[in-house]
Structure 1
Amino acid sequence: MIYRSFTPTLVAAALACLGHAHAAGIPTLQEVSVTSGSQNLTGIADSASEGTVTAKQLANRPLLRPAEVLEVVPGMMVTQHSGDGKANQYFLRGFNLDHGSDFATHVMGMPANMVTHAHGQGYMDLNYLIPELIGNVKYRKGVYAAEDGDFATAGAARIDYVRKLDQAFVDLSLGQGNYRRLLSAGSHAFNGMNLLGALEVAGNDGPWDQAEHLKKTNGVVRLSSGTAANGFALTGMLYEARWRATEHLPARAIDSGEIPRYGALSPNDGGKTHRYSLSGDWARTEADGARKLNLYVVDYGLNLYSAPSGFISGAQGDQHEQADQRTLWGGQASRSWLLGPNWRDTELTLGLQFRQDRIGKVGLYSTENRQRTRTVREDRVLQSNLGLHIDARTQWTDWFRTQIGLRHDQIQARATALGGANNMENGGQEGAHQTSPKLGLVFGPFQLLGETEFYANTGRGFHSNDARGATARINPQDGSTATPVPLIVRARGNELGMRATPLPGWHSNLNVWQMNLESELVFIGDEGVTEPKGASRRHGIEWSNHVVPVDGWILDADLAWSKARFKDANVDNGGRHVPNAIPLTASLGLTADQGGKWFGGVRLRYLGAYALEETGTQKSTPFLMASLKAGYRVDRNLQFTLDVLNLFNRKANDIEYWGNACTRNEQASGACGTDGIAGRLIHPLEPRTLRLGMRIGF
C-alpha cells in the first residue's frame, strides 16, 4: 500500500533531522517582520514579498468573516459567493485562487488546503479561525521558499495561535441579520506550562431573503511550554457548522425584478461541515542551529448542496450534493546548522514533510431539496505526499547574501470507484514527482532611502491536480471518453524587488514578478470532471507600505497590478484573458490603540474590473468599500466595540462570473433550451452592517 512504502522513509528522515546538536545558541538569520517602527530594517528576508504580521496589527481590523485575516497579505482579497459555512473565494497576483488552489495555508502546522476535494482542488476553509487567538501570520509570495510545497504558487501563509492570554475574557457580539457570537477564552499557568482554552458559538441569518441560519461551534484547547523557538505545544481543535446558502444568481433576474437583490436562485442550498484536529509542535534552538517537529491528525467532513445553474435541467432544479469524508495525518521535521566563519556563517536547513489523505468517500450526487436522486460518481482515494527540502543561507560579504534551495516532492494516489453508472471504469493508481530549485540573491543594506536592500529570486513550484482527474477514463456525467490529466502542474516564477525604510517608522516594499503555469486545469466538483484551460503567463508590480508614525498608530497601504493571459487562444472564442483574474487591487488601513479609552481602525479596499470570459469583452464592475471599528474601554475589565461593515452601504458585487444558468420563470417559459442562458452571475456585497460587541475581562 502507498502509506506503507512512505512511512519508513518518513521515520528515518525524522530521526536524522532530530539528531544530536553540535553546540548551543540562536540562529543569526531571522525572519522578516514588518512590525517595527524603528529606523532600521527589521529581520533578514529572502525576498521582497514576505513578512510577518502580529496580533497587535490584527486586533483592530474590522472583519466581516474570519478568513479576511488573510488580507494582511499585501494584494490578497477575500470574498464569498455562497454561504458563510463554505470556504471563501481568494484572489492574489492575477490568480482567481478559487477556494485555495494556488495559495497554501497552514494553521499551527496543519495544512488547510484539501487535495482531491469534493468541491475543488485545494479547498481551503478557514471559517474555523478565531481571530482573537492569532499570534502571528507569516506569509510569502511566489515559489521561492524550499519549505513551501503543494499549492504554494501564488504564495503561502502560516498562521499560529498564541500560547497564553494576558487576561481571560468573554466577548458577546450582536448585530443586524440576527448575528450573534459568544467567545470565551482564557489561559492558566502551572508547573512551567500554559493551558489555553477557548469556546466560540455563533449564528447569523445575514441580509438574505432566504435566512442563512448559520450555526457554528468552535473550540480550542492548547497546552504549551516555552516559545515557538524553544518549547512545545499540544493543540486540540473542534469546529462544526451548518448553514443555508444564497448562491450567486443571474444579474438579469435582478434587473427584471424576478428575484430581489438578496433573493435566492434556488431554495435550500447550503450544507454542513466539521473539522476535528490534534496537533503537536516541538522546537529546540541551540548554539549551532535549531530542530523542529510537528505532527497532526485531522478528521474532516463536508456535505455541500448547491444549484449554481438554477433550473436548466427542469422545474425540479439542478441541485447537487458534494460529499467529502476523510482523515488526514502527517507532519514535518527540520534541522538547521550554523556552520560558522569557515563556511561564511552559512545556515543549512534540511527538512522533511509528509501528508496522507485517507478519503473514505468523496462523491457527487444529484439531489432535490437535499435528498439524493442519483449518484454521479463516488470514489475512495488514498493519497500520500512526501517532500524533502534543503536550503543554505550564506552571508558572503556585509552587502551580499544568498539563499539556495532544492525541494523534491513525490505524490502517490490511488482512486477506487464506488458508485456512479458511468464511473465504475474510472480509478487506478498514479504517481508524480518534481524537483524544484530555488535561488535568492540579496544586495545590501545600502544607505539609500534610509536603509535599502535589493532582491532577485527565481524558482519552481507546483500545485497538484485532483487524483480522480489523473485516473479518469470516462466522463461520469455522460459516459464520453475522458483524458487523464497530470497529477502535478508545474510553475516557474521570477521576481525583482526592494525593501527600504525611507523615514523612521516607514517600511516600504516594491517588487516586480513574473510566473508561468504549465496548465490551468481545474477539477470541477459541480460536474465531477476536469476542465482543461491551458498554460498561462502572469506578471505584475506590487508596492506595500507599513508606517508606524507614533507608538500605537499603524498605517498600511498596498497597491498591486497584474496581467494574466493564456499562452494560447481559447478555441471557442479566440480570447486569451484568464477569467476572474483581478488586474488591480488596493487597500488602505489605519489602526490606533495607545492603551487609552478609545481605540479602533478603518479599512478601505478597491477591486478593479476583471475579465469574466476569455475575450475580456465582459467585465466586472470595480468598487471601493470601507469598514470601520471603534472601541471604548470603560476600564481594564470592560470594553465596548462597534463594527460598521460596508460603511457607506456600497452597492456592488462580492463576486461576478460569466456562465449559463436559468431561473424558475425562464425554465417555465421554455427559454432555457438544453444549455441554459449565458450571462452575468453575481453575488452581492452585504449591505451596511452594524455589530456591537462587549468584552468582559477577568
Structure 2
Amino acid sequence: MKRTLLASALAAIALSAHADDPFLPRVTIDASRISQLGIADSAAEGTVTGRQLAARTVYRPGELLEAVPGLVASQHSGEGKASQFYLRGFNLDHGTDLRTTVDGMPVNQRSHAHGQGWTDLNFVIPELAARLDYRKGPYSAWGGDFASAGATEIAYASRLARGIASLAGGQNGYGRALVAGSADIDRGARPGALLYALETMHNDGPFTRGDNYRKVNGVLRYSEGFANNGFHVTAMAYRAKWHATDQIPQRAVDSGALGRFDNIDPTDGGGAHRYSLSGAWARSSDASSTRISAYAIANRLALFSNFTYFMDDPVNGDQFAQPDRRVTSGFDASHAWHAHGADDAFASTTTVGITAQNDNIHNGLYGTKARRVIATTREDHIVETSGALFIENQTRWNPFVRTVAGLRADHYRFDVASDRPANTGKASDTMLSPTISLVFGPWARTEFYANAGTGFHSNDARGTVIAVDPKTGEPVDRVTPLARTRGLDLGVRSEWIRGLQTSLSLYRLDMASELVFVGDAGTTEAGRPSRRHGIELSNYYKPVKWLALDADLAYARGRYRDSAPEGNRIPGAVEGVAQLAATVTPEGPWSGALRLRWFGPRPLVEDNSIRSAATLTLNGRIGYQLGRRLQVELEAFNLTNRRDAAITYYYASQLKDEAAPVDDYHFHPIESRSLRLSLSYAF
C-alpha cells in the first residue's frame, strides 16, 4: 500500500524506537491514535498502531482487520478456514476486492479452488503486528488487483523491546502457547537483530463435534538497520488441521432435529499449510528513496464442504473437495525522487515502481463421501502471471493544498490446462488505472479530501477460457479477465476539538462485474455490474489520559446496475455496520476494554423479499499486572450470550429424510459466551 514519505519516516522511527512494541505490558498502553493530518490522502485511510492492535480482543487472527473502521470479519465454517469479510456494502466472501498483504507479501490467492481472492490470515501472529495500514477505495497507484473496496497491510516488527512467553486456556477446548523475542547480533559496524516466534494452538469451539483446530506457526527474521534504511529476510511456516460445522438449515433447528451447534456432515473440514521466504531492502536520503522486496510462498489447502447435504446425491451426500496447492512468487520495486522548495512550503515526491507476480496452481473439484473421492468434476493446472508499472506524484503546492496523481498499467496472462480439452486455453488482458486526490487544509486542524480513481479485480483464470460447464456439459460464456471499477470519495477529517479525531467519507463505487458467492456451489462467480453509495463516520475520543473511546458507523446502498426479472439487490451486501469501544488504562495494575459490534441485516435474494437478521456481539477483556514482568488477562467473547448468526445465506438444500429440495435460510451461529485466561511473562 502506498505511504507518503512522511508516513514512512514516522513508521521507521516508531519501529526503531519500539514505540509500537506489542510486548510492553498492556497497562502501560497509550491508546492514542496517530494524527493523519498532513499524512493521509483521503478520509478513508489511516494507520492502526501496534499498541492499539494489542489492546483489541480478537477471537481469530482475521479479526485484526476489524481495526479498519466499517470492516467486519466473520466465519461460516471451521476455524482453519479463511474468514469472511464485509466492507463498504460488499460481502467480500473470503477476500475478493479487499487486497491484503503481510510484510509486503500478497495474501489474496488468485484463481483459488474455493473462491477468487482467498485470504487466509490464520498464519498471522497478532503479537508481532507492529502496524496496520488501511485504505478504502481505488485511489492509489500502489493498489492493483483486489484493492477496489479496500486494501490492508500488516507490518511485522523486526525487533522486540522484550521477549514474551505466554500460556492461555479457556472454554471449548481452547489452548495456546507462544514464545517470541529478538536478540541483537554484534557485527561491528553493521549490527543486526534476529527475531523469532513460535505459536501452537488448539480450539474446539462450541460445536457438538468440536473443530479440533490444531495449528503450529513460526517466524524467523534477520534484519539490519531500520524500515527506511536497512533490510530483512524472513521465513514463516504454518500448518493446521480442523473439523468444520458448516452452515445449517433453519428448518432443522426450528423442528428440533438439529441444535444450533450441530452439524449434518461430521466429516467436513480440512487442512492447510503455508511456507514463505521473503526479503526487503530500503535506502533513503533527503533526495531519494528506493525499496525492493521479493517473496516465494508455498500454499496448500484441502477443503471438504457440504452445503446442500443430499440434494444432488441422495445416496452418498453432496460433500465436495476443493484442493488447492500453489507456489506464488514475485517482487516489488520502487524509486522515489524528493524535491523541496527554498522555503519548504513546496515539496514534491515522484515515485515509479514495478511489480510482478506468478502463481503456479494445481486445483480441482471432486465429489466426496467422508473425504473419500467418488467423482471428479474438474482438475486444472493454472499458470497466472501479472506485471505492473506505475507512477505517482505527491505534491504539496503550499501549506494548504496537496495533490496526488497516479497512473498504473497492469498486464495479466492466464494459461489453463484442464482435464476437459474444451476448457483448456490461454487468455490475456491489460488495464490502465488513473487516480487523482486533492487535499485542502488544514484549517483549524481540519482537512478536506476529494478522491477519484479506477481500479479492477481479476476473475478466475478458469472462467476466462471456459467453454462448457464441467458438471453439466452445457455451453457457458467466458468472463472478462479484468473487471473495471470506478470510485469517487469526498471526505473531511478534523481534530478541532481537543482529544477528538473525526473523519467523514461519502463514496460511490461502480463495478463492471460483481463477484458473488454462490452458497450451493461453494464458490464465487463473476456476475452483473453494480453500484454502491455510502457514508462512513469514524470517531476516536481521548477525553482523559486513561480513557479512549471509539465510535465507527457505516451505511451502504448496493444495487445491480442492469435490469433483471429477479431484482436488483445484491445478495449478502452489507448495509449497516457499527462499532463502539472503550479502552481503560488507568495508573496502576488494572486495564480493560469493551467492544460492541453491530452487523446489520442484508438482502439474501435479488428482490429483497428474504433478508438476514442483524448480529450484535459484545467482547471485553480485563488485565492485571502482577509485577514488572508478569501479567494475567481474562478475555470474554459474546458476553451477553446472544444466539445470533455469524453469517446467513438463502438457497435450496435437501436433508436425508426430505423428498425434495427446500429453499431455506442457512446460518452459522456466533460462538456462545466463552472465557480465555492467559498468563504472560516478559523477558
Q: Deviations over 1:145-197 (max 9, x none)?
A: 11000000101011011111122221111111111111111111112111111
Aligned: 1:585 with 2:587: no
1:466 paired residue number: 460
Matching residue's letter, 1:341: G
* 1:627-638 equivalences in 2 (<5 Å): 627-638=619-630
Is the 1:477–1:527 contact (alpha carbons within 8 Å) kept by the matching residues of 2?
no
Aligned: 1:435 with 2:420: no
1:334 paired residue number: 334
Q: Deviations over 1:423-453 (max 9, x none)?
A: 3321211001100000000111112xxx100
Aligned: 1:283 with 2:278: no
Matching residue's letter, 1:443: F
1:657 paired residue number: 649
1:396 paired residue number: 397
* 1:265-280 equivalences in 2 (<5 Å): 265-280=264-279
Q: Deviations over 1:51-98 (max 9, x none)?
A: 010111011211111110000110000000000100010000000000
Q: Aligned partners of 2:450, 2:319: CA distance in 1, in Å?
A: 49
Alignment partner of 2:62: what SS? helix
Q: Normalised by the size of structure 1, how large is the TM-score?
A: 0.91
Is the 2:519–2:651 contact (alpha carbons within 8 Å) kept by the matching residues of 1?
no
Matching residue's letter, 2:482: I
Aligned: 1:170 with 2:159: no
Alignment partner of 1:386: what SS? strand
Q: Aligned partners of 1:526, 1:358: CA distance in 2, in Å?
A: 28
Is the 1:271–1:305 contact (alpha carbons within 8 Å) kept by the matching residues of 2?
yes
Q: Deviations over 1:445-480 (max 9, x none)?
A: 112xxx100000000000000000001001000100
Residue of 614, 624, 631 corresponding to 2:616: 624
2:347 paired residue number: 345
Aligned: 1:475 with 2:469: yes
Is the 1:41–1:501 contact (alpha carbons within 8 Å) kept by the matching residues of 2?
no
Q: Aligned partners of 1:285, 1:31: CA distance in 2, in Å?
A: 10
Structure 1 position 521, deviation (Å): 4.2
* 1:297-308 equivalences in 2 (<5 Å): 297-308=296-307
Alignment partner of 2:52: what SS? helix
Q: Aligned partners of 2:36, 2:128: CA distance in 1, in Å?
A: 28
Is the 1:365–1:377 contact (alpha carbons within 8 Å) kept by the matching residues of 2?
yes
* 1:179-258 equivalences in 2 (<5 Å): 179-191=174-186, 192-258=191-257
**How many correspondences in the alignment?**
656
Give the 3 Å change call, closer, same or farther, for CA 599–469 of structure 1 in structure 2.
Answer: same
Q: Aligned partners of 2:99, 2:92: CA distance in 1, in Å?
A: 10
Alignment partner of 1:69: what SS? helix
1:407 paired residue number: 408
Q: Aligned partners of 1:155, 1:459: CA distance in 2, in Å?
A: 13
Structure 1 position 664, deviation (Å): 2.2
1:317 paired residue number: 317
Q: Normalised by the size of structure 2, how large is the TM-score?
A: 0.93
Aligned: 1:370 with 2:398: no
Alignment partner of 2:442: what SS? strand
Q: Deviations over 1:547-602 (max 9, x none)?
A: 2333353322100000000012333x2x1111111111000112233563112211
Q: Aligned partners of 1:163, 1:32: CA distance in 2, in Å?
A: 15
Give the 3 Å change call, closer, same or farther, for CA 530–65 of structure 1 in structure 2.
Answer: closer
Q: Deviations over 1:514-565 (max 9, x none)?
A: 0000011458697598745210000100000122333353322100000000
Structure 1 position 363, deviation (Å): 0.5
Matching residue's letter, 2:372: Q
Q: Deviations over 1:170-226 (max 9, x none)?
A: 111111111111111111111211111111111111110111111101000111122
Alignment partner of 1:56: what SS? helix
Aligned: 1:113 with 2:108: yes
Aligned: 1:690 with 2:675: yes
Q: Aligned partners of 2:463, 2:486: CA distance in 1, in Å?
A: 23
Q: Aligned partners of 2:371, 2:540: CA distance in 1, in Å?
A: 48
1:20 paired residue number: none
Structure 1 position 612, deviation (Å): 0.8
Alignment partner of 1:114: what SS? coil
Structure 1 position 40, deviation (Å): 6.9
Give the 3 Å change call, closer, same or farther, for CA 37–169 of structure 1 in structure 2.
Answer: closer
Alignment partner of 1:252: what SS? helix
Structure 1 position 311, deviation (Å): 1.2
Is the 1:414–1:430 contact (alpha carbons within 8 Å) kept by the matching residues of 2?
yes
Aligned: 1:84 with 2:79: yes
Give the 3 Å change call, closer, same or farther, for CA 632–105 of structure 1 in structure 2.
Answer: same
Query: Percent identity of the aligned residues?
Result: 42
**Runs of 5+ unmatched residues, structure 2:** 12-19, 21-29
Q: Aligned partners of 1:497, 1:375: CA distance in 2, in Å?
A: 51
1:543 paired residue number: 537
Q: Aligned partners of 2:7, 2:179: CA distance in 1, in Å?
A: 38
Q: Aligned partners of 1:662, 1:570: CA distance in 2, in Å?
A: 28
Q: Aligned partners of 1:464, 1:32: CA distance in 2, in Å?
A: 33
Q: CA RMSD in A?
A: 2.0
Give the 3 Å change call, closer, same or farther, for CA 70–543 of structure 1 in structure 2.
Answer: same
Residue of 419, 424, 445 corresponding to 2:421: 424
1:158 paired residue number: 153
Alignment partner of 2:145: what SS? coil
Q: Aligned partners of 1:151, 1:176: CA distance in 2, in Å?
A: 37
Structure 1 position 345, deviation (Å): 2.1
Alignment partner of 1:254: what SS? helix
Q: Aligned partners of 2:33, 2:330: CA distance in 1, in Å?
A: 40
Q: Aligned partners of 2:194, 2:586: CA distance in 1, in Å?
A: 29
Alignment partner of 1:445: what SS? coil
Q: Aligned partners of 2:648, 2:522: CA distance in 1, in Å?
A: 23
Q: Aligned partners of 1:227, 1:488: CA distance in 2, in Å?
A: 37
Residue of 140, 155, 159 corresponding to 1:145: 140
The range that moved more, 349-358 or 589-598, is: 589-598
1:681 paired residue number: 666
Give the 3 Å change call, closer, same or farther, for CA 38–431 of structure 1 in structure 2.
Answer: closer
Is the 1:322–1:525 contact (alpha carbons within 8 Å) kept by the matching residues of 2?
no
Alignment partner of 1:446: what SS? coil
Is the 1:199–1:219 contact (alpha carbons within 8 Å) kept by the matching residues of 2?
yes
**Structure 1 runs of 4+ off > 4 angstroms?**
26-43, 521-530
Q: Aligned partners of 2:382, 2:615: CA distance in 1, in Å?
A: 42
Residue of 497, 501, 517 corresponding to 2:495: 501
Q: Deviations over 1:331-385 (max 9, x none)?
A: 10111111232894211011111110011x2110000000001110001011111
2:24 paired residue number: none
Residue of 601, 608, 612 corresponding to 1:609: 601
Structure 1 position 623, deviation (Å): 2.7
Is the 2:78–2:246 contact (alpha carbons within 8 Å) kept by the matching residues of 1?
yes
Aligned: 1:563 with 2:557: yes
Is the 2:31–2:51 contact (alpha carbons within 8 Å) kept by the matching residues of 1?
no
Give the 3 Å change call, closer, same or farther, for CA 31–689 of structure 1 in structure 2.
Answer: farther
Q: Aligned partners of 2:238, 2:651: CA distance in 1, in Å?
A: 33
Q: Deviations over 1:100-133 (max 9, x none)?
A: 0110000000000000000000000001111111
Is the 1:217–1:240 contact (alpha carbons within 8 Å) kept by the matching residues of 2?
yes
Alignment partner of 1:339: what SS? strand
Give the 3 Å change call, closer, same or farther, for CA 260–87 of structure 1 in structure 2.
Answer: same
Q: Aligned partners of 1:689, 1:338: CA distance in 2, in Å?
A: 52
Alignment partner of 1:113: what SS? coil
